[in-house]
């Protein structure tokens, strides 16, 4: 019915095609990341791989970038630590607007905790 060598060839192809596609996707993502890190400019707001949000203040070195993490606090990072550029206005909708009162309701214990008579701190 099927030639065993043809079946073996199809099995090999079925195993290696996903591997090849995955490696192409990974190379493309790596190239995009390198392009992002090479295109950093002073004033860009970035997120590092450790989750730190900072503003780029110096890009004059090839391997490192200086990031301002707070007013007047500048640290030097390896460019590879920069994960993405962040829209500086992204957190504006979360921040409290002037003249607006923000009320925070106290947390209520879960239904199963109320039934047992226990409360969580």
As a whole number of angstroms, the distance between CA 36 and CA 62 comes to 14
Interatomic CA distance for residues 77 and 70, integer angstroms:
15
Domain match, 19 and 45 both: no
Q: What pTM was estimated for this model as a whole?
A: 0.57
Query: Residue 33's pLDDT is what?
Result: 92
pLDDT for 7 equals 87
pLDDT at position 112 = 54
Residue 112 belongs to a domain: no
Q: Are residues 32 and 46 in the same domain?
A: no
| Residue 115 within any structural domain of the chain | no
* Domain match, 29 and 44 both: no
What is each CA distance from 49 to 27, 40, 77, 110, in whole angstroms?
19, 15, 11, 35
- The tens digit of pLDDT for each residue in 47-101 reads 999 999 999 999 998 899 999 999 999 999 999 999 999 887 765 554 444 555 5
Q: Which residue has the higher pLDDT, 107 or 6?
A: 6
Considering its fold, how many domains does the chain have in total?
A: 2
- Same-domain check for residues 45 and 31: no
Query: What's the rounded Cα separation, in Å, for the pair 57 and 43?
Result: 6
Q: Does any domain span residue 101?
A: no
Query: So what's the pLDDT on residue 94?
Result: 47
Instruction: Write the pLDDT tens digit of every residue in 14-36.
Output: 888 888 888 999 999 999 999 99
- Write down the pLDDT at residue 35: 92
The residue range of the domain holding 61 is 40-90
The DSSP code for 70 is E
C-alpha 49/C-alpha 57 separation (Å) is: 18
* Same domain flag for 66 and 54: yes
Total length of the chain = 121
pLDDT of residue 95: 47
Residue 113 lies in a domain: no
């Amino acid at each position: 019915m099927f030639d065993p060598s043809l079946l073996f060839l199809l099995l090999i192809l079925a195993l290696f095609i996903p591997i090849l596609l995955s490696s192409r996707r990974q190379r493309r993502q790596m190239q995009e990341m390198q392009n992002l890190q090479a295109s950093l400019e002073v004033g860009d707001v970035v997120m590092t791989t450790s989750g730190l949000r900072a503003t780029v203040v110096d890009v004059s070195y090839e391997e490192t970038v200086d990031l301002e993490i707070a007013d007047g606090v500048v640290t030097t990072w390896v460019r590879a630590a920069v994960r993405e550029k962040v829209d500086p206005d992204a957190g504006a909708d979360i921040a409290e607007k002037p003249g607006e009162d923000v009320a925070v309701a106290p947390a209520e214990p879960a239904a199963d905790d109320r039934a047992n008579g226990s409360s969580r701190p």
